[in-house]
Structure 1
């Protein structure tokens, strides 16, 4: 078992709420799997412990619930991604402004890409502002 596989097993056992079946985590969309994988990679590299991650994720979910999230499970990985962005910014891995810049560029790239085609980020997707 690779270190990434061990980290995935630890994450699914340690972080409550991860949607899963008998084979492991279940993702509705490819971006959810990517967000999961990014969190695993940053954990393996020592950016945070799973306890720290679980605490930050729980805080994010509570905040979303307080703001009206119905907590049906459909928004779980949105909270996962928001937690990842906050930890990366808090740990000075990347400033929040840079994360937002890339998020906006990906949104722009997705908007211009025909359905079913791969999304490719280009320099033109970064709006000067």
Structure 2
């Protein structure tokens, strides 16, 4: 085994599989730190989402885990009135459309007029 191979083996695995996993996590932490909701309340709601989906508690942070995380955040923000439920669904569809139209390996971007309101 080369020195490079040894160094690569020592590197920790990335904490997030996809950029959007990190983004939705960071957004949730930011909202908590700015008093939009308490962390205890977030954990309770996220746990309920996981139970509702029948997901195991030993998830490794994959796609199903972060899909549940995003669903919880969308529902929570709609419930506390931070975001209208229709707006959250609309934005999710716009992101999905942009994602599907983006060539592999390129960053996904919303059109300027789509990203801003009014």
For the criterion TM > 0.5, the same-fold answer is yes
Q: Give the alignment's TM-score, normalised by structure 2.
A: 0.76
RMSD: 2.3
Correspondence for 2:85 among 96, 102, 105:
96
* Structure 1 Cα separation of the partners of residues 26 and 58 of structure 2: 23
CA–CA distance in structure 2, aligned partners of residues 54 and 71 of structure 1: 12
Runs (4 or more) in structure 1 with deviation over 3 Å come to: 69-72, 123-126
Larger Cα Rg: Structure 1 or Structure 2?
2
| 2:107 aligned to which of 109, 118, 128 | 118
Kindly indicate whether residue 20 of structure 2 is the aligned counterpart of residue 31 of structure 1: yes
Find out whether 1:52 has 2:49 as its counterpart.
no
Shift of 1:125: 6.3
C-alpha separation in 2, matches of 1:107 and 1:70: 27
Which structure carries more relative contact order (alpha carbon 8 Å, separation 6+)?
1
Aligned length: 100
Counterpart among 102, 105, 110 of residue 94 in structure 2:
105
